Structure 1
Amino acid sequence: MNRKTLVLPAMIGLLAPVLAACGGSDGGGRGGDAIVVGTTDQFVATKEAPAPFDPAFAYDAGAWNVLRQTVQMLMHVPRGGGEPVPDAASKCGFTDTQNESYRCTLRSGLKFSDGDTITAEDVKFSIERVLKINDGNGPVALLSNIDTIETNGDSGIVFHLKTPDATFPYKIATPAAAIVDSDMYEADKLRAGADADGSGPYTLETETEGGRVVKAVFTKNPRYKGDLSLQNDKVELRSFEDTESMEKALRDGDISMMTRTLQPHQIKDLSENPPEGIDLVEMPGLEIRYLGFDTEDSTVKSKAVRQALASVVDRGQLASKVYPATAEPLYSLIPNTIPGHQNAFFNKYGEPNARKAAGILSAAGISTPVKLTLNYTTDHYGSVTKKEFEVLQEQLNATKLFDVAIKGTEWSKFRASQKRGEYAVYGMGWFPDFPDADNYVAPFLGKDNFLNTPYANSETRNKLIPESRRAADRSAATETFERIQEIVANDVPVLPLWQGKQYVAARDDITGVEWAVNSSADLQLWELGRGVS
């Protein structure tokens, strides 16, 4: 059976929420108390991660959700998805047919929140700063295709790209391309601590305890000029150490909404036994989870070991036992709601089959059981991650082909260790920078990739990824992405596990909840207001 069309693309899910929250706006809470939103995202300044909110360093969904409220980019993705539209810019577009030259014009009267005027030189400084600092943890790969940046007066700016890239407008709509003030940010050094300044819709004040941010207060920026319409004057993002305390705060009325990460049992309970005055809202989701491999580590250097793992992992059981009704099996790096997806891993390996795995290992001359340690983060994706890895451990050990141990580490140490190549096998999640197949391929397989993986396939890196970016009509790149997925299924530098849904829970007097998180898991706090239930 060919699983290329196992799950039909549901593009409508990218355009509209599944369930809209009730309530009508009465002005969006202006002039009243802050709307308080809970999250389990942790923001900690450490030796390994000294600048959690510096655009040259920050490259995870939680930090970007803080930056999106505070800094401004030339472009932004509109509330319902689709192609980016101007924000700090008044207009942007390619000036050639090869998608190699991209020109923007700034809005008139742009100012940073402290009143300093923004010019094209500030944009140039900000993006060249990310490239110059070139932090190994940061989002520099999103901008690395920029060859030169040219300014034309105070408002004109042109990006000359090294190679054609039709996805470039999406990349400069991310916080990687945030416009920052050279008076606040040094050109060649990260800004340590939990501060962030820009020209975005809000200003930011943080409250910390022992280096950990426990509260981020966003106050409407009166100098903001852009495409967004704010429905409130103030929002407070409160960080909780666990989902149980976050849910209790919602039930007690201490917070008005809780977002990532809700656990499966909470979603089930809130759905089947909804508390009075609280709504559970399901939203389109593009999150994926996967196992990554250090392909130079002796334990998994042989492709046969990775292929054997791909042959026996039972994604269906994993999703049903750990994430019931909130996840579905994933057989490709590219999720099934993104054009270009095909179920490449199912096509190659089929249903879980220990006999097939044994044959792969035997043919490669590999003795069994193969000893492995699966590493996971204890606090970045929620407490249920431990159960996920316990299930994987049980599945693999049951085959007698593997002898698997598991080890959990807090995110602030886990991510740094993973980047340094200290883990042979590790579990990670991915929330896309933008909803295009390119962003599920290049960050894992391209040069300067997110994982810092030693794996490099010349056909993928030098031919297929550049070829896919030439297509202004993204559907024209489908065959190229299908070939990439086939290569990944054969080489197994990563092993896709599941694709998740998104949920938030909110008190029913809060409006705009259905727009507060988009399909890429970006928080859009400006959409929240207070209204009538």
Structure 2
Amino acid sequence: MNRKTLVLPAVAGLLTPILAACGGSDDGGKSDDAITVGTTDQFVATSDAPAPLDPAFAYDVGSWNILRQTQQTLMTQPKGEGQPVPEAAESCAFTDSGNERYVCKLRDGLKFSNGDEITAADVKYSIERVLHINADTGVAALLNTIDTVETQGARDIVFHLKTADATFPFKLSTPPSSIVDPKLYPKDSLRKGFNVDGSGPYTFKGTIAGDSMSAATFTKNPSYKGSVTLSNQKVVLRSYKTADQMGVAIDKGDIDVMTRNMSPAQIQKLDAGSDKNAAIVDMPGMEIRYLAFNTDAPTVKSKAVRQAMAQLINRDEIISKVYGTQAAPLYSLVPASLTGHSNSFFNKYGPPSADKARDLLTRAGITTPVKLTLHYTTDHYGSATKQEFEILQQQLNGSGLFDVTIQGAPWAKFRPAELKGEYDAFGMGWFPDFPDADNFLAPFLDKDNVLKSPYTNTSVQRTWIPESRREADRLDAAKTLTEIQDAVAEDVPLIPLWQGKQYVAARDDITGISYALNSTSTLQLWELGRGVSS
């Protein structure tokens, strides 16, 4: 099969499914009419993460991809990228020159899937609930510029912001802004387990065994009113432990589509056209990988230690040995494709140099070799993560300046341990909430950041982030955004490593795969259909 390469057009609708699927059955497995999609995302409820699908708690790409199919937000990111457009809202806009008052009007006749009408009061309840619960995942920080939410009648909502925030329309397109039914989602507590209800394009049913969900069945919601047009009646999202298992499933015809995370080897095989059962689409993506530090931990508390690591890491070697053409070196938290990107780490450190790293440690009086452990998740970002960390270990230890061990853990254990500050240095990935440079900086550097990092830079938090958000034209924010990136390169609370493409593979009779993922790795299952391959 030939590979298909997609460059997303500025105008939506240029690539559309040819034929829609017909109606579906109610079981959670493969059927003749349901389109079955494979993923390696794992869905587990634990004591540390008891409500993986509650929009007041969920803050990972897998959970968000469940919520985006089933719950509506006032705004949504359009099919062809660009600025967000109304979804549950009929209209939304800033009504002042300072970007501090944002007004939305709901579509007429909106209903939850159970038939209950949706009003402005439900929107207010949903937003205030997320802020009130303030879960330790940090997801509420996306809405932290909201001061008060006001309703005017049954359909009008007014957001009064604490400070100007030109990115606010994007934030209203993210799952923490989902509209939930007050009857089903308690105001003061999380909705535990795997139940999801809303007013989105699909209704939801999970296949549950113990504390895990192995599959999610999405069935067309007849009550849905919004901007999305469905090309199918039913989609089953099936979770696999490994990319290899998922690959076997598509070869056997047990699934129709593969999404994240395929292994580099699988992508190379599909890219070469040597798989007769599936074709692959690659498209621009904004996924990044980075190292993060608990800057209060004794091993990495000295800025010189973190700077020395930044001076030693060879991104080109990691990519050539592990990811090939599937990734590119990243020298800032902000991907190269976004307005405001600056190569701050390369500008400061240049090519890898053991001599420069040694000088940094010597001047700071640091005894070498520095002993520390790099932690990584074994199952959340794909099977290649271990190999990546083995190379990082070799690079750091090969300098003679570090004595690094590496340790992996499944995401269900890794993420809670990271949030509790149990790791001094650890690897993370980021799939953006929305396509703006702010979303690659504020979540890690602002107050109540998603990593629970103790790192604080008052200029970043009090001056540069607020200043950048005042600029509706993001080109005008570039200078301030560069100052933030330069501060990260100087203080090194994180080290950016690489940014990647994203891939979808599908069997011949599946249409719409070019839009199955958008640039923020959001699954758009409604785009998939059955018909003649395009």
Q: TM-score, normalised by structure 1?
A: 0.96
Give the corresponding residue for 1:41: 41
- Identify the residue that residue 447 of structure 2 maps to in structure 1: 447
After superposition, give the CA deviation of every residue in 1:121-178 in whole Å (9 maximum; x if it has no partner): 0000000000000001141000111100000000000000000000000001000100
Residue segments in structure 1 that go unaligned for 5+ positions in a row: 1-11
Question: What is the aligned partner in structure 1 of residue 487 from structure 2?
Answer: 487
* Matching residue of 1:531: 531
Taking only the aligned residue pairs, the percentage that are identical comes to 59
Matched with 2:271 is 271
Paired with 2:270 and 2:284, the residues of 1 have a C-alpha distance of: 18
The equivalent of 2:260 in structure 1 is 260
Whether 1:27 and 2:20 are equivalent positions in the alignment is: yes
Between the aligned partners of 1:30 and 1:231, the Cα distance in structure 2 is: 11
- CA–CA distance in structure 1, aligned partners of residues 289 and 226 of structure 2: 34
Partner of 1:8: none
Alignment of 1:199-278 (within 5 A): 199-278=199-278
**Secondary structure of residue in 2 paired with 1:504:** strand
The Cα shift of 1:277 comes to: 4.2
Aligned residues: 519
Please report how far the alpha carbon of residue 322 of structure 1 lies from its aligned counterpart in structure 2 after TM superposition: 1.0
Whether contact under 8 Å (1:292, 1:426) holds in the other structure is yes
Tell me by how many angstroms 1:433 deviates: 0.2
What is the aligned partner in structure 1 of residue 121 from structure 2?
A: 121
Q: 1:457 to 1:114 in 2, by over 3 A?
A: same
Using the alignment, how far apart are the partners of 1:494 and 1:531 within structure 2?
Answer: 46
Any conservation in 1 of the 2:17–2:529 contact (CA below 8 Å)?
no
Map of 1:4 onto structure 2: none
Q: Structure 1 residue 209: deviation in Å?
A: 1.8
Alignment match, 1:96: 96
Q: Identify the residue that residue 60 of structure 1 maps to in structure 2.
A: 60
Q: Deviations over 1:334-383 (max 9, x none)?
A: 01000111111000000000000000000000010000100000110112
Corresponding position of 2:365: 365
Q: Please state how far the C-alpha of 1:384 moved relative to its aligned partner.
A: 1.3
Matching of residue 384 in structure 1 with residue 384 in structure 2: yes
2:66 matched to 1:73? no
SS in 2 for 1:25: coil
1:212-266 Cα distance to aligned partner (Å, 9 max, x none): 1101000000000001000000000000000001011101111000000011111
1:466 alignment counterpart:
466
Question: Is structure 2 residue 357 aligned with structure 1 residue 354?
Answer: no
Deviations 1:264-315 (A, max 9, x none): 1111111114322421110111000000000000110000000000000000
Paired residues of 1:56 and 1:138 also in contact (CA < 8 A): no
Contact 2:138–2:449 (8 Å) recurs in 1: no
Residue 111 of structure 1 and its aligned partner are, at CA, apart by: 0.3
Q: Contact 1:516–1:523 (CA<8 Å) still a contact in 2?
A: yes
SS at match of 1:341: coil
In the aligned structure 1, how far is the partner of 2:7 from the partner of 2:376? 30
- Pair 1:412-2:405 in alignment: no
2:507 aligns to what?
507
For the residues of structure 1 that align with 2:144 and 2:96, how far apart are their CA atoms? 20
How far apart in 2 are the matches of 1:138 and 1:67?
A: 17
Q: Take 1:521 and 1:237, find their aligned partners in 2: how far apart are those partners?
A: 15
Q: 1:65·1:522 contact (CA, 8 Å) conserved in 2?
A: yes
Q: CA deviation at 1:30?
A: 4.3
Aligned match of 1:3: none
Q: Is the 8 A contact 1:29 1:231 kept in 2?
A: no
Structure-2 residue corresponding to 1:197: 197
Q: Report the Cα offset of residue 13 of structure 1.
A: 5.0
Q: CA deviation at 1:24?
A: 5.7
Decide whether the 8 Å contact of 1:331 with 1:343 is kept in 2: yes
Is the CA contact 1:277–1:507 (under 8 Å) kept in the aligned structure 2? yes
Mind listing any 5+ residue stretches in structure 2 that lack a counterpart? 1-5, 25-31
Secondary structure at the counterpart of residue 118 of structure 2: coil
Equivalent position of 1:84 in the other structure:
84
Contact residue 72 and residue 199 of structure 1 kept, 8 A: yes
Query: Which residue number in structure 1 is paired with residue 400 of structure 2?
Result: 400
d(CA) in 2 for partners of 1:314, 1:499: 14
Distance 2:78 2:317 in 1: 36
* 1:28–1:511 CA contact under 8 A, matched in 2: no
State the secondary structure of the residue aligned to 1:288. strand
Rate the CA distance shift 1:49–1:24 in 2: closer, same or farther, 3 A: closer
Which residue number corresponds to residue 6 of structure 1?
none
Q: Secondary structure at the match of 2:116?
A: coil
CA contact (8 A) 1:44 1:211 kept: yes
User: Does structure 2 retain, via aligned residues, the 8 Å contact 1:38–1:258?
Assistant: yes
Letter in 1 for 2:375: N
Q: Which residue of 1 aligns with 2:330?
A: 330
| Residues 57 and 47 (structure 1), Cα distance of their counterparts in 2 relative to 1, 3 Å cut | same
What do the CA deviations read for 1:161-196 (whole angstroms, capped 9, x no partner)? 000000000001000100000010000100000111
Q: How many angstroms does 1:211 deviate by? A: 1.1
Is 1:132 matched up with 2:132? yes
Q: Which amino acid aligns with 1:288?
A: I
SS in 2 for 1:502: strand
Shift of 1:27: 2.5
Q: Deviations over 1:410-456 (max 9, x none)?
A: 10111011011110000000000000000000000001111110001
Deviation (angstroms), 1:484: 0.7
- SS of alignment partner, residue 286 of structure 1: strand
Partner of 2:29: none
Between 174-183 and 277-286, report the one with greater CA deviation. 277-286
Displacement of 1:29 in angstroms is 4.1
Change in 2 beyond 3 A, CA 1:16/1:530: farther
Contact 1:258–1:505 (8 Å) recurs in 2: yes
2:27 corresponds to: none
User: Would the aligned equivalents of 1:113 and 1:203 in 2 still touch at CA under 8 Å?
Assistant: yes
- For residue 26 of structure 1, report the CA deviation from its aligned partner: 2.1
Give the alignment's TM-score, normalised by structure 2: 0.96
**Secondary structure in structure 2 of the residue aligned to 1:110:** coil
* 8 A Cα contact 2:278 2:507, kept in partner: yes
Equivalent position of 2:425 in the other structure: 425
Structure 1 counterpart of 2:20, one-letter code: G
Distance, in Å, in 2 between the alignment partners of 1:189 and 1:110 is 25
Q: 1:344, 1:489 within 8 Å by CA — same for their partners in 2?
A: yes
Describe the shift of the 1:143–1:331 C-alpha distance in structure 2 as closer, same or farther (beyond 3 A): same
Aligned-partner Cα distance in 2 for 1:255–1:203: 20
Partner of 2:111: 111
